[in-house]
Structure 1
């Protein structure tokens, strides 16, 4: 289909804002990575009115999709992991146009996975892990076992992704295939949760006991990024934390993560008097540096 799409991507390649053009072909008998399309035309641009623009094409019995994505949106996807297909697309794609080696440098960056980027991604996964784990445990204690089960499955996914990142790799769509080789203990925990013949209550009870250690052992590395940022000031209000560019990435998971870190004595509360008698502004500071 490349010949059919050539006029389309050549027109885009001639534009100064275009950084790279890639062609992703559907793998034999499997279309899950290309959303069932035969081809994905991925065009990366410096800037655009829309961060993502998608157009669909058909030719005879084939179909293709063109994704025009800004450099900023691409970096956000890579950092936050909100579009895991993008890693596979960049790694497996045929490069049709590459301005000033932008695509080649991007491939190298993804392959080498700089430590600072890893630290942020580990922090974000750890925050999601804690949110799901805490909510799941609360539901379990209220005997809402099916809802607790759903949260625990998600928490194990975040634990698995955290383990993969910790080992210097990007989590792929087949994350459990990665984890089985890298961290078989986590894989076994997941397998026992979904395959055991025990009651859901018993499965959850055993999992909470087993996963407590796995989470605790990753607390320092998972909290490293947030503590690095918190150490830049004596103390922070919650609003200051959420307004800080890097910390705002933690979004709705931040409050739960802070409470967990207070419990683990990595963060402490600093109370500042208000005009109201006996009422204090609740601020936060890191108790130690981990890196």
Structure 2
């Protein structure tokens, strides 16, 4: 297979902007890792013209895919976890070309998982967790049990991923295998939700009771990144938080996260008078009491 694909990757390797080339071959037990293709060539480049360029090939009744990805896009996927297959590719792919040991250094960086990267990823997962959990609870209280179930399953995924990151690992595609080893309590919650013979409303009721404590126990580490930024000044308008360079990545989940932390008295609300009678501006501040 490598011989057939050699002309393709050699052409890319000869280009000065190419930083590395990896070959990923399909595993029959996990073909989804390669999107069912028999082989994937991942080319990483410093050319930012196209963040992602994909081309498909056919050979000997098989199929291959060429993925040309900019370094910026790759690091975005690694930071935000928006392309989970990329970790599988980087972990298990065969390095065919490596300019100035770029690939070796990248793989070492991923293995080391610097603390700042972990802190940001935990913040993003926690924000998504709170959004899904609160939405699920709202649906449950309105007896919309199927919608509640959907959100709760997603919230448990985020809780599981948060636990994996907290322990210094990148969440893999098969994240529940990791969670089972790292935090069996979360795994048991998930297992009971999807396999229990109780009625759906009863399963959800029990899960909300059990997960409340688990989520609360993750608040300090999950909100750590946000709170560190809020310590920079005495109080903030919401728009200032939303547009802060380090916090804009939280996007639509930020408002719900702030309100959850207000409820938990981790963040306090400061009201300041407006020109309107009885109307106040709402500001937010980190409270040292938390």
Give the TM bin, normalised by the shorter chain.
over 0.9
Assess if the C-alpha contact under 8 Å between 1:228 and 1:289 holds in 2: no
Equivalent-residue separation in structure 2 for 1:224 and 1:70 (angstroms): 30
Q: Which moved more, 1:31-40 or 1:13-22?
A: 13-22
- What is the match of residue 17 of structure 2? 17
Mapping for residues 98-109 of structure 1, pairs under 5 Å: 98-109=98-109
Equivalent-residue separation in structure 2 for 1:91 and 1:179 (angstroms): 19
SS in 1 for 2:96: strand
Q: Where does the alignment leave 5 or more consecutive residues of structure 1 unmatched?
A: none
Equivalent-residue separation in structure 1 for 2:208 and 2:59 (angstroms): 52
- What is the match of residue 185 of structure 1? 185
CA offsets 1:176-211 (integer angstroms, 9 cap, x no match): 111111111111111110111100000000000000
Assess if the C-alpha contact under 8 Å between 2:156 and 2:190 holds in 1: yes
Equivalent-residue separation in structure 2 for 1:83 and 1:164 (angstroms): 17
- What is the match of residue 154 of structure 2? 154
Mapping for residues 58-73 of structure 1, pairs under 5 Å: 58-73=58-73
Equivalent-residue separation in structure 1 for 2:166 and 2:116 (angstroms): 12
SS in 2 for 1:42: strand
Distance 1:189 1:29, change over 3 A: closer
Equivalent-residue separation in structure 1 for 2:114 and 2:7 (angstroms): 37
Equivalent-residue separation in structure 2 for 1:245 and 1:76 (angstroms): 15
Consecutive aligned runs of 4 or more in structure 1 exceeding 3 Å deviation: none
Equivalent-residue separation in structure 2 for 1:231 and 1:47 (angstroms): 37
- What is the match of residue 37 of structure 2? 37
- What is the match of residue 50 of structure 1? 50
SS in 1 for 2:223: helix
Please report the RMSD computed on the Cα atoms of aligned residues, expressed in angstroms. 1.2
Equivalent-residue separation in structure 1 for 2:270 and 2:147 (angstroms): 35
- What is the match of residue 115 of structure 2? 115
- What is the match of residue 254 of structure 2? 254
CA offsets 1:83-106 (integer angstroms, 9 cap, x no match): 000001001011011111111111
Equivalent-residue separation in structure 2 for 1:240 and 1:178 (angstroms): 37
SS in 1 for 2:203: helix
SS in 1 for 2:126: helix
Equivalent-residue separation in structure 2 for 1:187 and 1:146 (angstroms): 21
Assess if the C-alpha contact under 8 Å between 1:133 and 1:151 holds in 2: yes
Q: Is 1:135 aligned with 2:138?
A: no
- What is the match of residue 96 of structure 2? 96
- What is the match of residue 126 of structure 1? 126
Cα distance, 1:289 vs. partner?
Answer: 9.2
**Under a length normalisation based on structure 1, what TM-score does the superposition of the two structures give?**
0.97
**Under a length normalisation based on structure 2, what TM-score does the superposition of the two structures give?**
0.97
Assess if the C-alpha contact under 8 Å between 2:23 and 2:95 holds in 1: yes
Distance 1:289 1:58, change over 3 A: farther
CA offsets 1:33-59 (integer angstroms, 9 cap, x no match): 000001110011112322111110111
Distance 1:115 1:289, change over 3 A: farther
Distance 1:53 1:288, change over 3 A: farther
